[in-house]
Amino acid sequence: MLSILIPTYNAICTELVARIHAEATRLDIPFEILVADDGSRSEIDEINRHITTLSNCCYFPATENIGPARLRNRLADQAKYQYILFLDTDVLPVHPTFLADYLQEAIQGGVVCGGFCYQRGKPSAQHALRYYYGIHVEEKTAAERNRHPYAQFISMSFLADRSVFKQVRFDEAMHIGYEDTYFGILLEQKHIPLHHIDNPVYHLSKEPSREYLRKIRNAIDILSRNIEKQRTHVRLLQWYTKLERCGLTGFVARIFQITQSAIEKNLTGEKPSLKLFAFYKLGYLCRIRRNSISE
């Protein structure tokens, strides 16, 4: 009935697997849990291998990093049951009926997204940006997400009929960043049903702000190389297109170059400005696009 697929990279997922395994066992349903590693450090790989002591659990190690899009596609190919539940490794279910709630809402030939949220608390200064951005921008109710369901697709936690992956795949050219957005675009183009429900996982990420900014820049680098695929669906690209039409991308790029250090100081501090963060992403995109055009 249910294949639970967890791609992991440099993260210990034994607690997540144990919780999911316990509920699946209580439900008394046919299930499998497949964990695929993406070239983690040896000490983390050694810990994650312990999940194979649980029934119906498999662990697939890797010697190289191939990226989340390719890893998810490989896991989907190996799944044997009708429904596939993808979970990121840095999550934990909020409710004890997590699997049951998903299965109750399963759509034959379609996709269901449960959403995610963040545990409240005061973050340390070095983790503040990820925390506040998650709570104020990313965290949304099902009602909010269902207003524009395909634009709100996130692969952190979703249930899909396995047949969906015969029509839609994660774009491996994206590698890291915005591959979720493009997957949502493809679902919409193929007219695959997508519904959002309130069945969240806690997103446990505690990325240091400097590391988070590095990942954002990498993601925008990839987005810039695939701009036409997502120009109409990514808000950052919509703002960039408006600047482009007004001939202002060069001006914004210069302002960004002048202010980048000062903005990064704010964003890596205790009280990061989300408005500055939005400008940071737009300014960085303008700069790299300008550089690529001039080369």
Q: Could you tell me the pLDDT band of residue 171, with boundaries at 50, 70 and 90? A: confident
Across the chain, mean pLDDT equals 93
Give the mean pLDDT of 107-128.
Answer: 94
pTM across the whole model: 0.91
What's the mean pLDDT in 63-78?
86
What pLDDT, on the 0 to 100 scale, is given for residue 69? Answer: 86
CA 57 to chain centre: 23
DSSP-derived pairing of the beta strands 31-37 and 2-8 = parallel
From residue 189, alpha-carbon distances to 113, 168, 172, 226 in Å are 18, 10, 18, 17
CA distance 165 to 150: 16
Q: Cα dist. 128→11, 54, 64, 146, 211 in Å?
A: 20, 36, 31, 28, 12
Average pLDDT estimate for 18-44: 92
DSSP string, 6-72: EEESS---HHHHHHHHHHHHHHT--EEEEEEE-S--HHHHHHHGGGGGSTTEEEE--SS---HHHHH
The lowest-confidence range among 49-63, 75-89, 102-116 is: 49-63
pLDDT at 294: 55
C-beta separation of 48 from 18 below 8 A:
no
In tens, the pLDDT along 233-291 reads 889 999 999 999 999 999 999 999 999 999 999 999 999 999 999 999 999 999 999 88
Asked whether the beta carbons of 153 and 45 are under 8 A apart, the reply is no
Residue 293 exposed, middle or buried by CB count within 10 Å (0-12, 13-18, 19+): exposed
